[in-house]
Structure 1
Amino acid sequence: MDSEVGLWLRKRFLKPIETKRAYKVGGQEEEEEQQQQQPLSPAARLFHEPNFNVYNIAIMGWKTKMCPEVVKGNLVHTLLKHPRFSSLQVTDENGEMKWVHTRVDLDMHVIVPDVNPNMDSPDQSVEDYISDLSKTHIDKSQPLWDVHILNLKTSNAESTSIFRIHHSLGDGTSLISLLLACTRQTADPEALPTIPVKKQKKQHKEDNSNTWKLLKWFVGFWWVVKLFWNTFIDVFMFMLTALFLKDTDTPIKEPPGLEFTPRRFVYRIVSLDDMKLIKNAMNMTINDVALGITQAGLSCYLNRRYGEQSTEKEEGATSRKVYLPEKIRLRSTLYINIRPSAGIQALADMMKKNTEAKWGNKIGYVLLPFTIAIRDDPLDYIHEAKATIDRKKNSLEAIFTFYIAELVVKIFGIKWASALYHRIITHTTMCFTNLAGPLEEIGFYGHPMAFLPPSCYGELHSLVVMFQSYINKMTIVLSVDEGTIPDPHRLCDDIVESLKLVKDAVVERGLVKENQEHK
């Protein structure tokens, strides 16, 4: 960053750096001390088990070079206001882990490596740097988070930052919300980002006839019956998976000990408008479309991998001939935050006004079956995804799996809970997540954001697929074990190509109205 721009940023945005933070809750300093000595929740302690040492990362692309001094100065007044980000996780003499407030040395948390701005392949260098991060862990003698700033121009951004946060500090949804609460809209520096909310269905005029009341009662009764039945089946399958039910050994199924291997992170930025076009044309949700194109891309990728292993393959045939075995069982774990989200406004108020906001790890698991097959009609993948998601929406699986883990912790201890989830994850194949992001451009104190792909490492699956929206973009990011998936860029391209095939099919069949194409 040139000196004039750097000087302007410092004058406009930089605030004095404080190394000691003191605030009062309800006017009593003792309450803060008591709050800082709270024990870690069972879920937070679970992420300190050797096979669950998971880190969340947020790869943020920026439209300008980043000024590290501006970042440091404002982290003090935003992120460090959250007690989890200025606390150590200390084990006492009884073996119990507690949060203990500490002074934060920002030079240990904001890392700016020396990079050559004239290197041949900056995109590959950034990808390699993030991959190398997954080989390391943050020392427990300091709060378990850091941010790495790479002032290196890539094809999608002028600079890149990587926030790395240990999963014990909070679940992924809460952490992304907290980071977004540190940002503001570029068009209005005082306004927080706006996240899309689910639209409420229009209520029709009430009919008080006896026939209508009877119909409503029957529909409600049938919904409750399906809810209990689906929940029973899902919890039963969860227990079978914990005991012995495994996914098919496909080329992307992880080998034992994967949690200790480094990861490769690759991503593609596609048009969110294309996904909305499909959503509107087929009367579905963005999540349905995301899951559908992921199923299509995985099917294509696995068919190619099986074809490469086949002794009967012909030159050029792997993209046309079906090599997939029949009845592949491939499931994804879907992490559901069963605690109502605090929201960006509540987290911003917490950092600015020292108010309270809901926080922590309160996660339930959903086992999401994927359809792996080669379909002649690309829209079949979307229809199958919608059927799967609609069924899972009518189930209390996430709540029950959370309380099953809580019960195991209380009766048998954290080691048994760790063993339970280790079996669940190693008996499934992948992890899938779709997150909604800001509707308008945002920035962090003078640095406008270009894109935002979150991910994680320390995960036991060989493949983690995440979708993250931002304005009119959707970022597809993969976290993979290269020993299992040596060509992640190819898999990412298969998912992107599946989106194109589905969109083309929707347009060719006239399912899109003219006024929908640009919505």
Structure 2
Amino acid sequence: MDAATSGGSVASPPNPPLPVRVRVPAPAETTEWTEEPMSPTGRMLADVGFYIVVLMGLGEPVNLPVFRAGIETELLTRFPRFGSIQVTDESKGGKPRWVQTAVNVDDHIIVPTLNPAAVASDADKTVEDYVSSLSMLPMDRRCPLWEFHFLDFPTSEATSTAVLRLDHSIGDAMSIITLLMASSRSTADPARLPAMPPPPRRTGAIYQRRPLSSPGYCLVWIWSYFVLMWNTLLDVVLIVAMILFSSDPRTIFTCEDDGRHNETRRKRFVHRTFSLDDVKFIKTVMNCTINDVLVGVTSAALSQYYFRKSGDIRTERICLRSFLPVNTRPISSRQTYVTKVETGNRVGSIVCPFYIALHDHPLEYVREAKMLMRRKKSSLEVMITQMAGELLVKYFGIKIGAFLFRRILTQTTILLSNVVGPAEQITLCGHPVAFIGISIYGQPQAVTVHYLTYGSSIKITLAVDDKQFPDCHKILDDFAESIKLIRNAAARKISNSSVHDCVTRNWIRW
């Protein structure tokens, strides 16, 4: 891919699939602007080199002047990181900080020149190839680390496509999606902001209010705290063991070692849309959470792919581990996004086991995930990992913190995340949004699974090693098949329960 520029040039990534025109902005002046120190988490993410990619299918052709005006009036004013660069000054201790700078929005808008024959032949693959090429294209760190790419041609899901790429140190997935919601309007009623889904309930035992005057309830309350401390201690020991020696068994999902850093391998982003109502139906039948269902679906889909791809006919389970980032903001913060969008990264993490297995009943995958996630909810692992990461960076330096963080990631098999989006269709910068998908690159895992709810749908986006998984669309087929099988099994369970209740009532009446 030859990267032509205006007033400069950048090296093009190896083996590029499509010609792209990239504009390299000139370094901006940074004097006489406000400064803010980078958080330890932000410094760590900047050092490991994580980038967020947000794919947005638009319902109409791109109107660049309108979208540009929306970026300038909405995104830049609501999110200070979009107008800041990272600066390290040895005279001030050598710690990086955010420095506000003048931003020319045109320097961050890229309209690539693609092969018309490739677009006409397969528009979806053209978009997929282009977005994948971004994982090998560096960003100019002398300027704010974000950019919009516009692909103005129709695909199977949208009239045009916008891709937002930004450095992960700017914010986490939750803050970026919240920013997009705060900067958009409801498509049904452009006069108001989009509706938010209701906040989740805290379901852990320590959150349940009980009358402590009752001896029985008091004992249960004390026991819940004992279990919390025990599980937290056990999780800390397991994480330390993971850093020192414990790793997952090698499978077809383990990132291949080709002599390069895994983070520099090209990622391919593929996505598919499913019905959120199906996921909610399974959730209701199994009396669990949406997260539990998605973890179970992931286990079922990867199990299907594994046994078909590997030809392994063993029936024993293979225990692997997934790395799950968790938003640590208060659950009410999403409801106040109208007046304030929180910047930065406020995430902890949990390391959750999942199993590659063949179950006779599809609901077993969800039932198993429910048990595993319930166990993780009775632990302070999320808070411990967040505090430990910040303390390591603060007292031992960014290199130590980033090394240990990368070490934990390399010892796990997949990265799994679920982000809650708007509860209805939105219009962003004057353009109706048909779908939203989110993912990251720079991570050492060969497979990353991101879910994002949007209106009545849920979008799954896979970021896979391009060389290792040339049949990555088959994995999406396995996800579709797994949701279908689990949903049908849940429907049969409801039907059988209804028949049983009817027979029971008739027997009693008789």
Structure 2 CA distance for aligned equivalents of residues 348 and 132 of structure 1: 35
The structural deviation recorded for 1:440 is 1.2
State the 4+ residue runs in structure 1 displaced beyond 6 angstroms: 206-210
How big is the shift at 1:510? 3.1
Q: Is the 8 A contact 2:172 2:345 kept in 1?
A: yes
Q: Shift of residue 108 of structure 1?
A: 1.4
State the SS of the aligned residue for 2:90. Answer: coil
Contact 2:46 2:167 in 1 (8 A): no
Confirm or deny that 1:277 pairs with 2:281.
yes
Paired residue secondary structure (1:477): strand
In the TM superposition, 1:248-397 aligns within 5 A as 248-256=249-257, 257-307=261-311, 322-323=313-314, 326-340=316-330, 343=333, 346-350=336-340, 358-397=342-381
Contact map agreement 1:306 1:323 (CA 8 A) in 2: no
**Following TM superposition, by how much is the alpha carbon of 1:513 offset from its aligned partner in structure 2, in angstroms?**
9.1
In 2, distance between residues paired with 1:405 and 1:474?
31
Task: Give the aligned residue type for 1:329.
Answer: C
Cα distance between partner residues in 2 of 1:223 and 1:123 = 51
Listed one character per residue, the Cα deviations across residues 170-217 of structure 1 (whole Å, up to 9, x for unaligned) are: 111111111221111012213222222246599xxx99797xx12211
One-letter amino acid of the structure 2 residue matched with residue 37 of structure 1: E
> Secondary structure at the residue paired with 1:76?
helix
Partner residue in 2 for 1:411: 395
Asked if the contact 1:281/1:512 (under 8 Å) is kept, the reply is no
**Match of residue 47 from structure 1:** 45
Q: Distance in 2 between matches of 1:247 and 1:427?
A: 6
1:145 to 1:345, Cα distance in 2 relative to 1, 3 A = farther
Distance across 2 between alignment mates of 1:407 and 1:446:
43
CA contact (8 A) 2:363 2:489 kept: yes
Whether the aligned pair in 2 keeps the contact of 1:277 and 1:512 (CA below 8 Å) is: no
Name the residue aligned to 2:95. 96
Q: State the SS of the aligned residue for 1:464.
A: strand
Query: More deviation in 359-368 or 163-172?
Result: 359-368
- Take 2:329 and 2:465, find their aligned partners in 1: how far apart are those partners? 31
**CA 1:272 to 1:208, structure 2 compared with 1: closer, same or farther past 3 Å?**
closer
Amino acid at match of 1:500: K
Residues in 2 aligned to 1:500 and 1:387: alpha-carbon distance in whole angstroms? 22
The 1:169/1:497 distance shift into structure 2, 3 A limit, reads same
The answer on whether the counterparts of 1:264 and 1:479 sit within 8 Å (CA) in structure 2 is: yes
Aligned-partner Cα distance in 1 for 2:300–2:384: 30
Which residue does 2:11 correspond to in 1?
none
Deviation (angstroms), 1:345: 6.1
Structure 2 CA distance for aligned equivalents of residues 155 and 512 of structure 1 = 39
SS in 2 for 1:73: helix
- Which letter maps to 2:267? R
Q: Is the 8 A contact 2:145 2:167 kept in 1?
A: yes
- Give the match's secondary structure for 1:223: helix
Aligned twin of 2:440? 456
Following TM superposition, by how much is the alpha carbon of 1:305 offset from its aligned partner in structure 2, in angstroms?
Answer: 2.3
- Structure 1 residue 509: Cα displacement: 3.2
Alignment of 1:246 with 2:244, yes or no, is: no
Question: What is the CA deviation profile of residues 386-436 of structure 1, one whole-angstrom value per residue up to 9, with x for unaligned ones?
Answer: 111111111100111122222222332111111111111111111001122
Residue 319 of structure 1 corresponds to: none
- Is contact 2:67–2:430 with CA below 8 Å preserved after alignment? no
Equivalence map 1:149-160=2 (5 Å): 149-160=150-161
Return 5+ residue gaps in structure 1 as ranges. 1-31, 311-321, 351-356, 515-519
> What is the deviation of 1:485?
2.4
Q: What count of residue pairs does the alignment treat as equivalent?
A: 455
1:166 partner amino acid: D
Aligned partners of 1:429 and 1:462 also within 8 Å: yes
SS in 2 for 1:239: helix
Partner residue in 1 for 2:184 = 183
The structural deviation recorded for 1:138 is: 1.4
Structure 2, gaps ≥5 residues long: 1-30, 204-208, 499-510
